Structure 1
């Protein structure tokens, strides 16, 4: 049963440019403009009308956009929950400008070993992540560590947990890696490794959406009975001010917004493509976390109930439940 019939999240790509070259991502290879404040202001107004509550200003590396603090301030003024994920390279020098503007601030860290982390990211950023933690805490911020889990770094979880997140009082977010297009992430986690990850996710100060694990055990999304609700829960806006459907990773079609996001999203052609969410050939076996997370939250299913405890746990620990209900 569908519980929420409007989109809840916007993945707003401020630029596709990035100052890292992660082996498991190809976005940094794309040429890209930067979004404009004028477009952001108009789109946020329309996103509010559409019922969206969370704005993820993403990239690329979102801190490459010098107006990011202005975007965040505007979104906060309008009552949105804001989230930003960064590799940490630019955070220390921009931290003061971002102070108090990001509800969910994530620093990417995939190993407790400097060389291992930097190799996977294609740039020396490990020390910047540790410095970002120090700076953020000094400013009274509550960042999270986003750990992208592969078979090759699964054994590093314990060291990151014991040596970095727990001593600093940070939430450790476990983000199981996923493949898309021509991007490969290595061998998929075995059933035994999924069990280990599931058990790790139950620790204090750790967030893991258990439905991510179950979806992988089930072989991902199946077009015959899709669980993905990417297009109806999530709006994707490109740096060129386009609405991308049904999701960024497929990008079947891009519609110029031209100041009319509300009307564009509700247009028959747009809704026709949105209705294909989870049903396109490329959707078979998909486990892309950023679209499954909202998909699990809007309708009752076994994934809804498996996702609920960890979602409540995270929002309680972060205090974002207060923003969601307007406290």
Structure 2
């Protein structure tokens, strides 16, 4: 049973450019412009009218955009929950200007061992994460540690938790790795590794969406009975100011927005593509977290109930429930 019939999230790509070279990502390989402030202003107004509640300014590395603080400020002032994930190479430079504008600030850290983390990211950024944690805390910010979990680094989860997250009173977000297109992410997590993460996710100051675990145990999305609701829950906007459907990672078509995102999203051509969400051949076996998370939240099924405890836990500990409640009232 569908609970929410409007999109709830916007993945807003400010640029595909990146100052890291992560082995599990191909976004940084693409040539890319930067989004324009005027387009952001118009699109945010349309996103509000469409019912979107959360805007994730992403990339590439979003802090490469020289107006990222303005984008976040606009979205925050309009009442959106704002999120941003960074490798921290530029966070010390931006920290003061971002202060108070990011509700969910994620610092990527995939190992407690400096060399292992830097190897996976393709640049020396471990020390910048450590520095950024201290800067953020001094400013009264509460970043999360976002740990992308592979079989190769799952043994580092305990150390990142005990040596970095807990001493700094930060949430540890466990992000099981996913594959897409031709990007090589190694062997999928084994059943024993999934079970280990499920148990670890019950610890204090740890967030793990248990629905991610269930989805992987059941072989991912199945096109005959799709759990994925990517296109109807999430709007993806490119640096070229285009709407990408049905999602970024498996994007089939790009539509120029031309100043009227709401009209475009409600057009018949787009609605026909939305109807194919989770049903395209490339959707079989998909476990892409950034689209499954909102999918789990809008339909009453077993995934909804699996996701609910961790969602409530995170929003309670982060305090974002206050802004969500304000959104519901207004």
1:272-287 correspondence to structure 2 within 5 Å: 272-287=272-287
> How many residues are matched?
327
Match of 1:5? 5
Query: Aligned equivalents of 1:77 and 1:166: distance in 2?
Result: 31
TM-score by length of 2: 0.99
CA deviations on 1:23-71 (whole Å, 9 max, x unpaired) are 0000000000000000000000000000000000000000000100000
1:1-327 correspondence to structure 2 within 5 Å: 1-326=1-326
1:210 Cα deviation after fit: 0.1
CA deviations on 1:179-204 (whole Å, 9 max, x unpaired) are 00000111111111110010000000
Query: Aligned equivalents of 2:233 and 2:113: distance in 1?
Result: 37
1:268 Cα deviation after fit: 0.2
**SS of residue matched to 2:290:** helix
Query: Aligned equivalents of 2:5 and 2:132: distance in 1?
Result: 38
**SS of residue matched to 1:294:** helix
1:251 Cα deviation after fit: 1.1
Query: Aligned equivalents of 1:162 and 1:42: distance in 2?
Result: 44
**SS of residue matched to 2:326:** coil
CA deviations on 1:224-273 (whole Å, 9 max, x unpaired) are 00000000000000000000000000110000000010000000000100
Query: Aligned equivalents of 2:198 and 2:185: distance in 1?
Result: 20
Query: Aligned equivalents of 1:324 and 1:137: distance in 2?
Result: 24
Query: Aligned equivalents of 2:324 and 2:66: distance in 1?
Result: 28
**Coordinate RMSD, CA, aligned:** 0.6
**SS of residue matched to 1:325:** helix
TM-score by length of 1: 1.00
| Runs of at least 4 residues off by over 3 Å | none
Query: Aligned equivalents of 1:66 and 1:121: distance in 2?
Result: 23
**SS of residue matched to 1:151:** coil
1:325 Cα deviation after fit: 1.0
1:287 Cα deviation after fit: 0.1
**SS of residue matched to 1:295:** helix
Query: Aligned equivalents of 1:153 and 1:75: distance in 2?
Result: 35
Query: Aligned equivalents of 2:158 and 2:285: distance in 1?
Result: 29
Query: Aligned equivalents of 1:226 and 1:156: distance in 2?
Result: 33
1:94 Cα deviation after fit: 0.7
Query: Aligned equivalents of 2:134 and 2:93: distance in 1?
Result: 12
**SS of residue matched to 2:57:** strand
1:109 Cα deviation after fit: 0.2
**SS of residue matched to 1:175:** strand
CA deviations on 1:130-185 (whole Å, 9 max, x unpaired) are 00000000000000000000000000001000000000000000000000000011
Query: Aligned equivalents of 1:156 and 1:250: distance in 2?
Result: 30
